[in-house]
Each structure stands twice: as structure tokens, then as C-alpha cells.
Structure 1
Amino acid sequence: MINQSVFVLFNGLASGMAFFLVAAGLTWVFGILKILNLAHGAFFMLGAYIAYTIGGASPGSLWTFIGVALLAAIAIGIMGLVTDKFVLGRLRNVDYHYVLIATFGLMLFCEGVAKAIWGSDYYSVMPPPEVDMAVKIGSSYISLYTILVIFIGLAAFAVLELIMNRMWAGKIMRAVANDPWMAGTIGINVPMVLMLSVVASFALAGFAGGILVPNQTLSVHVGSSFILYAFLAVVIGGLGSIRGTFVACILLGLVESANATFLPEYGGIAVYVLLAVFLVARPQGLFPPQGAL
């Protein structure tokens, strides 16, 4: 029982941090622009494909692996800039239904582009050699790549918290999110802040794709499972709250891991039970943001 608990803990934390890496960009852009980006998973998928194309199936080292993930983040960030200019920027002041339709169409477009470039085959990417092994914790063997994902997820949360709560850039973003008109009257370049927020959101999706590409088989559908949990985390954590999303991702990861270990015959049901409980008991989320983020 203890061995299983150790496995559930580490596996759940790794899953939670993987969910957070995907959900961070989603909750970021919602908190500032109030946009629920249905194409977020598609850009995560493109980030994974770009990382595979640059780094290959076997990264030479850990630093190469992280560098490739950063390159994927830059590439997807540039795509975010183009997307904001031609799609999202044109939908700033329209009904949110049009935004949902546009991002859904964008998701289908990205999947079509991925199929045209990389085909419908499945690809596998190995973790970097430094973490392509397991360590013994108690009587359980835990993958070093799992520990790496946990560390990167924690680091990403710390950086986002630092930006939003300790740096001038975060204060500007919060001001724009809370009252764009007033922010503009005091000299803040509101369109620029909104555009950079979109770019940051997309870059986070690309970075997540590069880091998590060894986590499962790479295909055009790789983003589907991650984006589902990302949406659940955003809802449970509080729409637009990075801190709430982080805690929700950990809860989802631990619950999913415990479900798969102790109740494998009811795979996945515990996550939806958790969602139902929060929707009834705390529909505003764990940490409802005061204005945004």
C-alpha cells in the first residue's frame, strides 16, 4: 500500500504539472482578454511537432532538450502574433460566441496543417539521456523524466507568480484586464499589452509541447487529452486565476493517478466526480480572481 501511495503521489504530481504547463497559457489569456481559446491544444500539438522536427526522436542532452522546447515556444509565440493580428485582434469587441467559433475553426485549421506537413503517422520521442532512467524511492521506481516535469511545472508557476504579483509588467497586465479604458487614459498602450498577452499564452503552449513531447505518442490528436484537463483545471481553479489553476491541476493529477491505481475498472470517472463536486459546492472556483489572474 505504501509503495502504491508513493507511485500515486509522484505520478499524480507529474500529471498535474503536465496539465499546468498546458493550462497556464489558457488561463493567462482568459484572465487578461476573457478569451476561451479552443485552439490552445492545437498550438500545443504544433509545439510538440516543432520540437520533434528540430530535436529529433532522441535529444542529445538535457540542455538540448530544454533549448528545443524554448525554440518551439518562440515559434508558437510568433504564430500567436500572427493569429492576434488576423483573428483575435479583430474580435476584441464582439460577442464571445464569435470568438469561440473563430478559435474552433483555428483548431481545425492547425490540425489540417499538421496533417499536411507531418502526415497521420505516430512518432515517439525519447527523454534526454540524463533523465531516461528511474530512481528508487522506497520500494518504488520513479522515472527521472517524471521528476523533471514536476520541477519544470513548479518553476513555471513560480515565474508566472513572480511576473503577475511582483513585477511592473504584471501590474500593467492586471490594470488592462481590470479596466482597459482607464489603463489607456493613463498612458498604457492597451493594444500592445493585449497582443503581448496573446503571444505569451501561445509561447507557453509551445513550450509545454516541447517539454511534454516524450510523455506520449506524438500525433495530431496529442493535444486532445491535455486540453481537456486544462479546461477542467481552469474551471475548478477559477476562470483566469493562475494560482487556482495550479492547485486544480495538482488535484486533478492526484485524483487521476489514484483512480488509475486503486480503481482501474472505473478509469477517469473520479476526475468528473471532482468537477461535479466543485461545480456544486464552489462554482466560482478555488481562487476566483479579483478582476483577473
Structure 2
Amino acid sequence: MKKIVLILCLVFGFCFGDEALNLEIVTAQDLDLNKQVSILNEAILNDDYEKAKIMLDKNPNLVNISSKVNSNVYETMFLNENSIVLMANFLYQYDNFENLNNKLKERLIYKAIPEAYSLPSETISLLNKIKNSNFNFRIFNDNFSIKNSNYNVLKSAYFLGNIDIFSFFMDNGVILNEQNRFLLFLYVDILECIDNNFLENQNLDKVKDIVKTSKYNNCKNKYLKYLKIILKYQDVNDIIFDCNFLIDFAYKINDYEILNLLEVKHVR
């Protein structure tokens, strides 16, 4: 009996010993990863792109690691407004996006759009790198893809005045829908192509004369080209819910180009 007890004790002792050893190894690995994450966070905050690039090239998954001790790289970049810009600028030159998590890619896209004002070609390059990492841009068809956000990438690209980025999103599956609306803003911009005094005084005859001028048409076409891009990817019936203001305006001033684009009969 004593021999049986002794054998059982030895067996269980070795088992527990192995588990303790494994636990120690895992803990050591965690500590090493935590240390690396801390170093990477510090490099990002100190604008040390070269150091960050070396670390991410060696272990791209560092960006996804979080612990109770350290903020992960995701939090470092996006809780600190300054480091958002730093990391976005860095990632324009970064090539390995395969191991970055999708939520991080999503945030990078949000932050890249405003940067396009001063870095248009770099922004397109960044978007293409993210595209090539198998990111699904259709996630932006739900403008609540980020919690507590109503961010609209089409509207943002429109406000930026960058038709290349606008086209990029549509070409990659982002569409105008009940969540993603912005044609009201396009209508307001076209409205501003006309002197407000004429509209306020309901001087429609004068407005109809203005509509015929090249000055108005050049101004209008700057905005209307966005609608033309939308209509390359979507049927008029799919976006008509966002066109009421624009249609009423076009009827009012006899702008047949807008009515023709939206396939609306000229006489109600």
C-alpha cells in the first residue's frame, strides 16, 4: 500500500512539476513580449520610426498584444492624439500589414483620410497596402463599425475634396445607403454656386439665367462629379432616398443636367 501511495505521489509530483515549469516558461514569454510592447510604445511616442519598423518587421503581431501591465500599440496610437499622426505617417512607409488586426486597419483608414490633404499620394499608397492585406472595405457600409461613431468615409473624402480617395472607397465596395448619406451636403455646395440674394428674394427668373452661365456650371460640376462616380457603382433607385433636396432644387431652377443624371422626368 505504501509503495502504491509513493508511486502515485511521484507521478503527480512530476505532473505538477511539469505544469509549474510550463507556467514559468509562459510567464517568461509574456514578460518578454510585454517588455517588447513597452519598447515599441516608447519608440512610437518618441517618433522613432526606424526602431518601430525594425520591431514590427521582426514580430508584426506585437501590435495586437495587450496585457494588464502595458497599453497595447493600438491604444498607444489612438488614445494619444499626437501619436495617431506619428504612427499614421510612419505606416505610409510600412509594408507588412498582414498581421495587423482589422480594427487597427480600420482606425488607420479613419486617420489617413485627413492626412490626404497634405499627403495625397502617400494616403492612396497606404489604402492600397491595407487593401492588399485582404481588408474588407465594405465594413464602412455600416457607419457604426466603430463603437459610438457615425464616421462616414465617403462624406469625409468628399469634404476633403479628394475625388481619388472617394473613388477608391466606392471601387472597393463602399456605397451610399441609409447609414452613409451626404448628398444633402452636395446640394448645399451646389446651392452656394448661386448668389443667395436671388434665392432669398425668390427671383427665379434671374436664377435660371445664372444656371446657364459657365461660372455656375464650372462651380456645380466640381461637386457633381462625385454624384457621377456614385452612379457608376449604384443605380439611381438605390440612392434616390438621399436625392430629394437635389431634385427639388433642380426642378426649381430648371437644371436639366442634374435631372438627367438622376433620370427624373423634367415635368412632374
TM-score of Structure 1 vs Structure 2, range by shorter chain: under 0.3
What TM-score comes out, normalization by structure 1 length?
0.23
TM-score, length-scaled by structure 2? 0.24
Structure with the largest fraction of helix: 1
